[in-house]
Amino acid sequence: MAEQSHGIEPDAEIIEERQAKRLLELVDLRVRGSLAFPDELDFLRQAWAELYFENSALRYQIDQLTERVSRLERRIEKQGRKQ
């Protein structure tokens, strides 16, 4: 439809056409968002798994370092007693 107006106010058909076009754009955005959701969910799952793994690795390293510190402290105590 050609956008012609009679006088200052646009005519009812033009307003309806604009509203229908806007509704279609909104529906399109909603559908595209829904279609992208599984990909976003998969990304979030992968990111969570990687962070969980990194967290576990860091906890393991902390445990190892804590054990090393404890051994060093015991060794220092033994050396202090010998002197």
Residues 6 or more apart whose Cβ sits within 8 Å of residue 14: 1, 3, 4, 5
pLDDT band at 76 (very low <50, low <70, confident <90, very high): very high
pLDDT band at 15 (very low <50, low <70, confident <90, very high): confident
pLDDT at residue 79 above 80?
yes
User: How confident is the model over 7-34, as a mean pLDDT?
Assistant: 84
| Coil, strand or helix at 5 | strand
* Tokens (6 digits) for 49: 């798994």
Residues 6 or more apart whose Cβ sits within 8 Å of residue 17: 1
- CA 33-27-46 angle, 5° bins: 5
pTM (2 d.p.):
0.52
Report d(CA 45, CA 33) in Å as an integer.
Answer: 18
pLDDT at residue 40 above 50?
yes
* Tokens (6 digits) for 68: 């090393």
Between residues 13 and 52, which one has the greater pLDDT? Answer: 52
User: How confident is the model over 22-35, as a mean pLDDT?
Assistant: 87
User: How confident is the model over 71-82, as a mean pLDDT?
Assistant: 91
